[in-house]
Structure 1
């Protein structure tokens, strides 16, 4: 196992611990991460509401549920996240539900800014984009693959917007949230399951 991965796992949080950590910081008027600002705090508050809703409403399709339960090995999904990240708020409830439903995957979450060494191993186009799901073989501790920071449809939406307007502004962020709303977590489920099935074959 790579040392940064082992270190991160040692300092990781369960989904419920992560949710509590973010909530407790909000009570102090703070967000997770090294940087503190009114904007980041507001994003965290918005994400808290979003995650509460998704935890109640998010469903894994029957077909995907079956595929998860039929995985041959046991895994850890180590996710790099932060409380202020809009994509993480949309994706973590799905990732958590998939892990729970599978009976074969343990979900562990770490904060990006506290795990810089780990983050540097999983950059996206040289950026510290999150969330990133790192797939670890539970038995051997070896890193098998990664997924993130967002499903292909959402990535394409942002890439196309940036090409057309040169920036990622509030409109782009709103469009992205609408994309997630309409997708209902299906793309994320399918992509993660395809990754797991590829790893097993």
Structure 2
């Protein structure tokens, strides 16, 4: 059993390393989303009207977060002092509302430390990698993988939502069976009121801070 688990982890590490080498940086991802908005398209399949509208909405959300979110000075100082070469690899799609709130914060963290790198891949174009990092058997996004290039190890995974939002979603689904448009709207209101604090706390907890 230990040999099998070791082989599975080695395969995951290989996929992550490949994903990092192929991934786009955050600026390129933002340019892609801008282009999709201009051409009324979305990433992934299907090219539905709903997903096109979500992409347009998420572009505005990310623009707002990019402009307004700031790391607290104490957090920025700790993150900037991490000596390890850490790679953030995120699987997402442009229509994903949860990703629009969390990815700008991931990017702010990565920008704080020159040893850190943030790369983005589209889920539907990378099914093998996605299937190596399922959440409760589902291809839930965004999915963040934190890779330590010095140790050649996957040191953390995160996603698709911060801890409080995850509990909200689990409770609603347990009661109602599926997410309604009203719940999705309530979740977006929560993200805005929380101001990224829960996302930031979750992400900081993944890192090897001294």
TM-score of the superposed pair, with normalisation by structure 1 = 0.93
The answer as to whether partners of 1:50 and 1:90 remain within 8 angstroms in 2 is: yes
Partner of residue 107 from structure 1, selected from 106, 115, 118? 118
| 1:72 aligned residue | 83
Aligned with 1:96 (options 103, 107, 125): 107
Q: Render the CA deviation track for 1:83-109: whole Å, top value 9, x for unaligned.
A: 000000011111101110233311001
Give 1:11 shift: 1.8
Contact 1:67 1:193 in 2 (8 A): no
Q: Which moved more, 1:134-143 or 1:120-129?
A: 134-143
**Gap runs ≥5 in structure 1:** none
Aligned with residue 142 of structure 1, among 144, 150, 153: 153
Aligned residues: 199
In structure 2, the residue corresponding to 1:195 is in which secondary structure? coil
Partners of 1:190 and 1:138 lie apart in 2 by 23
Residues 44-84 of structure 1: per-residue CA shift (max 9 Å, x gap): 00000111111100111122112211213121101111100
Alignment check: 8 A CA contact 2:20 2:87 kept? no
1:194 aligned residue = 205
Paired residues of 1:18 and 1:109 also in contact (CA < 8 A): yes
Q: Is the 8 A contact 1:47 1:83 kept in 2?
A: yes
The answer to whether the 8 Å contact 1:64/1:189 transfers is: no
The root-mean-square deviation of aligned C-alpha atoms, in Å, is 1.5
Q: Which moved more, 1:11-20 or 1:102-111?
A: 102-111
- Classify 1:56/1:19 alpha carbon distance in 2 versus 1 (closer, same or farther; 3 Å): same
Note the residue ranges of structure 2 that are not aligned, 5 or more in a row. Answer: 1-9
Offset, 1:166:
2.2
Distance 1:99 1:23 in 2: 22
Q: For 1:27 and 1:7, how far apart are their aligned partners in 2?
A: 30
Matches within 5 A, 1:113-124: 113-124=124-135
Residue in structure 2 matching 1:42, options 53, 75, 86: 53
